[in-house]
Amino acid sequence: MKYLNEAEFNAVNVFGKGMENAMFAQYFIGESFLNPLTEFGKAPLFMANVTFEPGCRNNWHIHHASNKGGQILICTAGEGWYQEEGKDPISLEAGKVITIPSNLKHWHGAKADSWFSHISVEVPGEDTSNEWLEPVADEVYSKLK
């Protein structure tokens, strides 16, 4: 379900919007928010609820690993987009789960007309790192329907 009204979205965003995602803001177009659900380095998996304002998306990026690794997105509220390089974008809504293997170029974020949240799960692996790449161009993003 789409939410343009922030108060209505916050009422259904059960894992909470969290704080401004200042640490990674340079890799996003628009404002995003981060609510860690586990403590980094203390839990076997790092999980966080990531919230995107309407039109916000992260840059193309790759979760590198020499073995295993990657990311899982569990969509929890609003509507968004996910796209792998060379493939058509996938519409996201609450309940959808996306499994992203390591070493795959992709991006994800909100639709232009809706707030969006997903839980991001960093999959453990060997020699893991994230590589942030170019932004998703406005002319490409604006054509998504």
DSSP for 9-30, please give it: HHHH-TT---EE-GGGGGGEES
Residue 85 is inside which H or E element, if any? none
What the block records as the tokens of 116 is 């969006």
pLDDT band at residue 41 under the 50/70/90 scheme: confident
Structure tokens at 141: 């993003």
What are the pLDDT digits (tens) for 67-117? 999 999 999 999 999 999 999 999 999 999 999 999 999 999 999 999 999
> Token pair 């499994």 is at which residue?
99
Q: What is the pLDDT of residue 51?
A: 98
Cα end-to-end span (Å), the chain = 15
Mean pLDDT of the chain: 97
